[in-house]
Structure 1
């Protein structure tokens, strides 16, 4: 271990206790103020570099423990043995390293070590390690946020499921109670009808009884004799009536009972409402090193001649009904379509901006894409409780096909005979239109309201949480990621022109930017002065070179792109 740096080495040798104020690494000892002056004046040590003890003690403990002299022979190190990777004093060379051929003077080894490539390389590696560990920490922090977001979503889904069950049971209860009242009313009517017959016969018998009393008191014997036969027949008929009544169904006591459906009984035996599972996905952290190319980067802002020459003209302003617009599509025939998320409908306009038709849905539509071969649009369900993508036939204006998804779907695009969409918490999914088979193209904890665009073998998507635009190849390999908070904050809708240039709606900055296909160039082409306010959706129609941009509110704009 290095000498005790808290006391002056020279004074300590003379059995004098003085605190050191500086440290000489070459002498490997501390010096007090008085010895420091002597040390700087003596010829053998006047060129030694000293540092204050305060600065010296900032060094790591393992550095402070390094000795400047050989602990075995108590002599200064003079050479370095590369074979054994250790410093040697004069006697070490004689005793242990006399046969070693790769010995170098220690002064040559340590000369300019702090500015050497090796030292700079280590510094660079440490910086990269720190950056990597920060990425891991940030990734875990995002995971905490995603867990909270997913927890809230699951709580909402559980509550919605419970509400559906309650509503269904309430309806069953209401139907059963209605049936109960109807049944009781029918039985009461039967009894009352029967009672009217009984009451009529009761009145007849009462009248007969009164007549008999009168006959007995006031009629002659001849009159009594002659009428008795008639009375006997009436009494006989009434007795037969009573006998028939007693044996009929009408006098059976009616009761009401309630029998619980066996399925309802089984429902009461359900032990759990559902289950919560923890799913693991591949880590998204891109670990960089000095020997590997950094895939995730902050791209410098430069403007190429290609995107600098893009100009918008022939602006058409379109006033729409009030509602929240989340997605839009511009068809080759010029028809414009919009997803109104809050009122659960899609609206179609003619090429001149006049109203054409609307289609009511039971989901909250988020984004749409046009399927030219079927003359249909596919619509994602966004935050709807029912997680499904609908294909809507534009000819008969009805849902032609429904495709269930495993999580909430947002942005969507068409690639060959498949749809490509952003699925929250999962990534970018490709689903075939013919057999509904699907595969994950990009595994990612996808944020809500992420949008996607496809061009040739590249996919581009926006992440509103990270304020990024990322590019992947069709195999799921990250090609580049653009992040510059000064230009893009809360990116939303994204589309691609025929040259591969990207158009991105930037909600928080009320603008639209155009980016080059390699993600290295970016330029603002529309801003708040052009009428943009919280732009959410846009679509570039490649056959006509037109750009449709929609604010979140009730306004959209159509441009010719030159």
Structure 2
């Protein structure tokens, strides 16, 4: 960790529910929410992958803003580049697409090193995970950061914070942390605690939040990966928590389920 970074204990993290939101239905009554991201202006975008094949934007108060339907693409994971541009991966595709939400024009597509799943953006760099690696896209060029040495199964999600990249691994029920040079800093693995991890988010103190759909809860991991605590249960949150995104500007944690239910929490550190 950098000298200016002061990690806090997971014991000092508290959440207050601000609102619950239901994403408006698309052409199908069935949802398939596989990702969410927050713009710097506070608006939220969701990827609705299979049945509706769309991206949905909600305003800061949770009201509907706009929908971007696609005829062939199934958006899987989405990241905000700025308030006008998003990047998203597509199910079973080896490309990441850049889309201008103001002009509603596909700006570009970038070839990835394998079928791409989770994507994240920070400081002009896109990070993504494929079946067996973690990679980055900088200045339009894709390069591998980490070769995992095995193929991931199920949900593959990624988050970035400062000089660190975080990955959920369904293959062995673990959460991993790498630096941007590809060195593994830690791995948390406990089958009794971390089971079928899916969504992952990191706050400005380096605390890692992981959604566990099978256990119906969200856990918090300390920045060094040594401490873990049950953070939110489905009774406090929503059923089937699947995707997470953290707004470091406003200290908000957004929790989204596969079926379109969402909850927004204010996070406090004491």
2:32 paired with 1:324? yes
- What is the aligned counterpart of 1:359 among 65, 68, 71? 68
Paired with 1:543 and 1:529, the residues of 2 have a C-alpha distance of: 27
Higher share of residues assigned helix: 1
Separation in 2, partners of 1:430, 1:437: 8
Q: What is the CA deviation profile of residues 466-520 of structure 1, one whole-angstrom value per residue up to 9, with x for unaligned ones?
A: 1100111222121111011221111111111111111111111111111111001
Q: Which stretches in structure 2 are left out of the alignment for 5+ residues?
A: 1-6
TM-score, length-scaled by structure 2: 0.88
Residue 370 (structure 1) aligned with residue 77 (structure 2) = no
Name the residue aligned to 1:3.
none
Secondary structure of the 2:223 match is: coil
Following TM superposition, by how much is the alpha carbon of 1:389 offset from its aligned partner in structure 2, in angstroms? 0.9
> Match for residue 391 of structure 1?
98
Query: Are 1:347 and 2:56 counterparts?
Result: yes
Of 133, 136, 142 in structure 2, the residue corresponding to residue 438 of structure 1 is 142
- 1:484 partnered with 2:193: no
Q: CA 1:324–1:409 in structure 2 vs 1: closer, same or farther (change >3 Å)?
A: same
Between the aligned partners of 1:556 and 1:356, the Cα distance in structure 2 is: 16
1:360 Cα offset (Å): 1.3
Q: How many residues align?
A: 253
Change (3 A) 1:446 1:458: farther
CA deviations on 1:414-464 (whole Å, 9 max, x unpaired) are 132221000113x001111x3x21211000234142111112222110011
Residue 535 (structure 1) aligned with residue 255 (structure 2): no
The equivalent of 1:561 in structure 2 is 267
Aligned pairs (5 A) from 1:386-465: 386-425=93-132, 427-432=133-138, 434=139, 436-444=140-148, 445-448=150-153, 449-465=155-171
Higher relative CO (Cα under 8 Å, sequence separation at least 6) belongs to: 2
Distance 1:531 1:520 in 2: 25
Shift of 1:533: 2.4
Q: Does 1:308 align with 2:11?
A: yes
Aligned: 1:338 with 2:46: yes
1:522 Cα offset (Å): 0.9
Structure 1 stretches of 5 or more lacking a match?
Answer: 1-303
Q: CA deviation at 1:305?
A: 6.9
In the alignment, the residues of structure 1 paired with residue 235 and residue 91 of structure 2 have an alpha-carbon distance, to the nearest angstrom, of: 30
Alignment map for 1:164-313 (pairs within 5 Å) = 306-313=9-16
Instruction: Give 1:531 deviation, angstroms.
Output: 4.2
Distance in 2, matches of 1:336 and 1:446, equals 31
The superposition leaves residues 276-326 of structure 1 with CA deviations (integer Å, 9 ceiling, x where unpaired) of xxxxxxxxxxxxxxxxxxxxxxxxxxxx97221211114211112241111
List, as ranges, runs of 4+ consecutive aligned residues in structure 1 with deviation greater than 3 Å.
none
The 1:360–1:333 alpha-carbon spacing in structure 2 relative to 1, beyond 3 Å, is same
Matches within 5 A, 1:96-175: none
Q: Aligned to 1:382, which of 82, 91, 96? A: 91
Secondary structure in 2 matching 1:518: coil
Work out whether residues 366 and 379 of structure 1, in 8 Å CA contact, stay in contact via their aligned partners in 2: yes
Deviations 1:376-419 (A, max 9, x none): 11101133xx4321111121233221112242111111132221
Residues 459 and 473 in structure 1, CA contact (< 8 A), matched pair in contact too: yes
Structure-1 separation of matches of 2:199 and 2:170: 10
Compared with structure 1, are the counterparts of its residues 406 and 442 closer, same or farther at alpha carbon in structure 2 (3 Å cutoff)?
closer
For the pair shown, the structure with the greater C-alpha radius of gyration is 1
Question: Taking structure 1 as the reference length, what is the TM-score of the superposition?
Answer: 0.44
> Greater strand share, 1 or 2?
2
User: For residues 22 and 202 of structure 2, what CA distance do their matches in structure 1 show?
Assistant: 25
* Partners of 2:105 and 2:57 in 1: CA distance: 13
Residues 332 and 544 of structure 1 are in contact (CA less than 8 Å); yes or no, is this contact kept in structure 2? no
Aligned to 1:145: none
Residue 522 of structure 1 is aligned with which of 213, 224, 228?
A: 228
| Whole-Å separation in 1 of the counterparts to 2:18 and 2:230 | 17
